[in-house]
Amino acid sequence: MRVTGTLITLVGVALVGMHAQAGPVKEETRSVSMEGAERLVMEGDFGAGSFRIRPRHIDNAAEIRLEYSPDEVRYDIDFDRRRDEGHLSLSCEQRDGHYGDDSENMWRIDLSDKYPTDLDLEVGAGDIDFDFGGIPITSMALKTGASSGDIDFSAPNPGRMKAMEVKIGAASLALHHLGNAHFDELRFTCGAASTDLDLTGQVSGESEVYIKVGMGALDVYLPKGIPVRVETDNGLFSSVDIDDLHLERIHKDVYESPDFSEAKDRMILHVKVGMGTVDFSRR
């Protein structure tokens, strides 16, 4: 144990030394035109840093503000029109031998709410503050590593999202108002994470949610007044708590709200847990 402590101390000293040699921080602003495209496909591959996305009623695809250290961070912003689609690619990574903190790689992205949008985002290690409220998202894939922060749908999706996929690694994240996302299907996976999955909002139609938890702890919040069916698959070293939902047991590991069968707006949840915990409640 003493050897481990020594190693951690030495690594910490090395990182402090590297940080002390960081270069100056540069600020840049980029406006990304749609170039006549009618829908947006956006891909983001972000390493370590601080990342914020906000909806904004603008003609451009996005307005992007960056604060970064050119000596430590390499980034790329690329836009390509393909027929009626505009493809926006964003990426950043640490240069070899450099380790910066959040203040040296900050992205502030205003994303247009005027165009149908497909999103594919991956964040390695960083602070996340994403709000997709009011953006007409048609599909979404989000993957995080050792990240923390919040993901919100503060306003209803004006369209319909066919597929939404969220994969969370060793993170501490809170997802808010996903009922506003208006998805047909959500596939949510978390590993060794502590996560809030808030499915409240203006639920419309039938939504199906697949939840898979490894060794994490997940709190799931369901909207009041929306009938649900919960199907559970958990092992000996895991738990799923649905007591607060007051559901009827239909058959083994399947539970429903009394008015589920007749409901137009409803949720179906499939829950699979390895060695973690999932707790359900209403909001």
Question: CATH topology for 2-282?
Answer: Pectate Lyase C-like (2.160.20)
How many CB atoms lie under 10 A from the CB of residue 65? 14
Q: What is the mean pLDDT of the chain?
A: 90
Averaged pLDDT, 226-250: 95
pTM of the complete model: 0.88
Rounded-to-integer distance, Cα 51 and Cα 15, Å: 22
Rounded-to-integer distance, Cα 198 and Cα 196, Å: 6
**42 pLDDT higher than 60:** yes
Output the pLDDT for position 44: 98
Model confidence at 99, pLDDT cuts 50, 70, 90, reads low
Averaged pLDDT, 41-49: 96
Averaged pLDDT, 239-264: 97
Model confidence at 22, pLDDT cuts 50, 70, 90, reads low
How many CB atoms lie under 10 A from the CB of residue 158? 12
Output the pLDDT for position 14: 37
Least confident range of 38-42, 94-98, 199-203:
94-98
**2 pLDDT higher than 80:** no
Output the pLDDT for position 8: 31
Output the pLDDT for position 236: 81
Question: b/e per residue, 214-228, with b = 16+ CB within 10 A?
Answer: bbbebbbbbbeebbb
Averaged pLDDT, 265-275: 97
Averaged pLDDT, 50-74: 97
**125 pLDDT higher than 90:** no
Least confident range of 1-5, 11-15, 30-34, 205-209:
1-5
Question: What are the domain boundaries of the chain?
Answer: 2-282
Output the pLDDT for position 165: 99
- The 10s digit of each residue's pLDDT in 186-232 is 999 998 888 999 999 999 999 999 999 998 899 999 999 999 999 99
Pairing of strands 254-256, 248-251: antiparallel
Output the pLDDT for position 97: 52
How many CB atoms lie under 10 A from the CB of residue 273? 22
Averaged pLDDT, 132-138: 99
Q: CA-CA distances (angstroms) from residue 255 to 106, 128, 238?
A: 45, 35, 18
Least confident range of 48-52, 93-97, 104-108:
93-97
Averaged pLDDT, 262-280: 97
**21 pLDDT higher than 60:** no
**184 pLDDT higher than 80:** yes
